[in-house]
Protein backbone atom coordinates (compact mmCIF):
# COMPACT_ATOMS: atom_id res chain seq x y z
CA UNK A 1 0.00 0.00 0.00
CA UNK A 2 1.34 3.40 -0.94
CA UNK A 3 0.17 6.76 0.29
CA UNK A 4 1.03 10.33 -0.52
CA UNK A 5 0.45 12.68 2.42
CA UNK A 6 0.05 16.34 1.66
CA UNK A 7 -0.24 18.92 4.40
CA UNK A 8 -2.95 21.29 3.29
CA UNK A 9 -4.45 24.62 4.29
CA UNK A 10 -7.55 23.50 2.43
CA UNK A 11 -8.60 20.65 0.15
CA UNK A 12 -11.73 19.44 -1.55
CA UNK A 13 -12.97 16.70 -3.85
CA UNK A 14 -15.59 17.38 -6.50
CA UNK A 15 -17.48 14.83 -8.60
CA UNK A 16 -19.76 16.07 -11.39
CA UNK A 17 -19.78 19.63 -9.96
CA UNK A 18 -20.80 18.33 -6.50
CA UNK A 19 -18.33 18.82 -3.62
CA UNK A 20 -18.16 15.47 -1.78
CA UNK A 21 -15.33 16.32 0.64
CA UNK A 22 -14.02 19.63 1.95
CA UNK A 23 -11.51 20.41 4.71
CA UNK A 24 -9.42 23.27 5.95
CA UNK A 25 -6.17 22.54 7.84
CA UNK A 26 -5.20 18.89 7.69
CA UNK A 27 -3.99 16.14 5.39
CA UNK A 28 -4.96 15.05 1.92
CA UNK A 29 -4.07 11.36 1.65
CA UNK A 30 -3.84 9.69 -1.76
CA UNK A 31 -3.85 5.89 -1.39
CA UNK A 32 -2.86 3.18 -3.86
CA UNK A 33 -3.61 -0.47 -3.12
CA UNK A 34 -2.02 -3.62 -4.49
CA UNK A 35 -3.04 -7.28 -4.11
CA UNK A 36 -0.39 -8.03 -1.48
CA UNK A 37 -1.76 -5.42 0.94
CA UNK A 38 -3.41 -6.60 4.14
CA UNK A 39 -4.63 -5.43 7.56
CA UNK A 40 -1.07 -5.06 8.83
CA UNK A 41 -0.34 -2.54 6.06
CA UNK A 42 -3.57 -0.69 6.86
CA UNK A 43 -2.84 -0.50 10.60
CA UNK A 44 0.75 0.65 10.08
CA UNK A 45 -0.15 3.33 7.53
CA UNK A 46 -3.15 4.60 9.48
CA UNK A 47 -1.01 5.01 12.60
CA UNK A 48 1.76 6.67 10.60
CA UNK A 49 -0.73 9.04 8.95
CA UNK A 50 -2.34 10.36 12.14
CA UNK A 51 0.92 10.51 14.12
CA UNK A 52 3.46 11.83 11.60
CA UNK A 53 4.68 15.21 12.84
CA UNK A 54 4.36 17.61 9.92
CA UNK A 55 2.53 20.54 11.55
CA UNK A 56 4.27 23.47 13.21
CA UNK A 57 4.37 23.96 16.97
CA UNK A 58 4.53 27.33 18.75
CA UNK A 59 8.09 27.76 17.39
CA UNK A 60 7.01 26.78 13.86
CA UNK A 61 8.95 23.52 14.11
CA UNK A 62 7.24 20.43 12.66
CA UNK A 63 6.55 18.70 15.98
CA UNK A 64 2.78 18.18 15.80
CA UNK A 65 0.60 15.61 14.09
CA UNK A 66 -2.79 16.03 12.46
CA UNK A 67 -4.20 14.43 15.61
CA UNK A 68 -2.38 16.94 17.84
CA UNK A 69 -3.74 19.89 15.84
CA UNK A 70 -7.29 18.51 15.55
CA UNK A 71 -6.86 18.70 11.78
CA UNK A 72 -9.03 16.94 9.26
CA UNK A 73 -8.24 14.26 6.70
CA UNK A 74 -9.47 13.52 3.19
CA UNK A 75 -8.63 10.11 1.68
CA UNK A 76 -8.71 9.66 -2.10
CA UNK A 77 -8.13 6.36 -3.89
CA UNK A 78 -5.41 6.62 -6.54
CA UNK A 79 -4.42 3.48 -8.42
CA UNK A 80 -1.86 5.48 -10.42
CA UNK A 81 0.46 5.40 -7.38
CA UNK A 82 1.32 1.87 -8.55
CA UNK A 83 2.32 2.97 -12.05
CA UNK A 84 5.22 1.01 -13.54
CA UNK A 85 7.22 3.30 -15.82
CA UNK A 86 10.32 1.24 -16.54
CA UNK A 87 9.43 0.30 -20.12
CA UNK A 88 8.13 2.73 -22.72
CA UNK A 89 6.17 5.89 -22.12
CA UNK A 90 2.79 4.44 -21.26
CA UNK A 91 2.54 3.54 -17.56
CA UNK A 92 1.38 0.07 -16.62
CA UNK A 93 -0.97 -0.32 -13.68
CA UNK A 94 -0.73 -4.10 -13.44
CA UNK A 95 0.28 -3.92 -9.74
CA UNK A 96 -2.78 -1.90 -8.75
CA UNK A 97 -5.56 -4.02 -7.28
CA UNK A 98 -8.84 -4.51 -9.06
CA UNK A 99 -11.89 -2.97 -7.33
CA UNK A 100 -13.07 -6.25 -5.77
CA UNK A 101 -9.82 -6.41 -3.78
CA UNK A 102 -9.07 -2.69 -3.42
CA UNK A 103 -12.46 -1.39 -2.24
CA UNK A 104 -12.64 -3.44 0.99
CA UNK A 105 -9.02 -2.53 1.81
CA UNK A 106 -9.66 1.15 1.04
CA UNK A 107 -12.77 1.19 3.23
CA UNK A 108 -10.88 -0.58 6.00
CA UNK A 109 -8.08 2.00 5.77
CA UNK A 110 -10.61 4.82 6.16
CA UNK A 111 -12.21 3.10 9.18
CA UNK A 112 -8.80 2.55 10.80
CA UNK A 113 -7.90 6.21 10.23
CA UNK A 114 -11.15 7.28 11.88
CA UNK A 115 -10.42 5.02 14.84
CA UNK A 116 -6.87 6.39 15.22
CA UNK A 117 -7.88 10.02 14.63
CA UNK A 118 -10.98 9.86 16.81
CA UNK A 119 -13.25 11.51 14.27
CA UNK A 120 -14.80 11.19 10.83
CA UNK A 121 -12.49 11.10 7.81
CA UNK A 122 -13.79 12.52 4.55
CA UNK A 123 -13.29 10.66 1.27
CA UNK A 124 -13.62 10.82 -2.44
CA UNK A 125 -15.58 8.08 -4.22
CA UNK A 126 -13.61 4.99 -5.16
CA UNK A 127 -13.18 4.72 -8.93
CA UNK A 128 -14.94 8.01 -9.70
CA UNK A 129 -13.57 10.75 -11.92
CA UNK A 130 -12.68 13.23 -9.20
CA UNK A 131 -11.39 16.77 -9.26
CA UNK A 132 -9.08 17.23 -6.29
CA UNK A 133 -8.33 20.79 -5.28
CA UNK A 134 -5.69 21.51 -2.66
CA UNK A 135 -3.59 24.25 -1.24
CA UNK A 136 -0.42 22.42 -0.25
CA UNK A 137 0.91 24.06 2.91
CA UNK A 138 4.69 24.32 2.97
CA UNK A 139 4.70 22.54 0.60
CA UNK A 140 4.85 19.34 2.62
CA UNK A 141 4.41 16.15 0.60
CA UNK A 142 5.54 12.74 1.86
CA UNK A 143 5.36 9.38 0.10
CA UNK A 144 5.07 6.30 2.35
CA UNK A 145 5.13 2.69 1.15
CA UNK A 146 4.07 0.01 3.64
CA UNK A 147 6.30 -2.49 1.80
CA UNK A 148 9.35 -0.27 2.27
CA UNK A 149 9.30 0.86 5.90
CA UNK A 150 12.33 3.10 6.08
CA distances 150 to 31, 124, 145, Å, are 18, 28, 9
Q: Give the separation between CA 18 and CA 11, rounded to whole angstroms.
A: 14
Nearby residues of 109 by Cβ (< 8 Å), 6 or more positions away: 1, 31, 42, 45, 46, 75
Catalytic center residues? 78-80
Pair 31, 2: CB distance under 8 Å: yes
Exposed / middle / buried, residue 106 (Cβ in 10 Å: 0-12, 13-18, 19+): buried
Amino acid sequence: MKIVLQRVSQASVTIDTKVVADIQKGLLVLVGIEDLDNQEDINWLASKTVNIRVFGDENDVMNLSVKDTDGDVIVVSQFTLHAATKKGNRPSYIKASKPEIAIPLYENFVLQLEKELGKKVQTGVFGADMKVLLLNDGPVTIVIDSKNRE
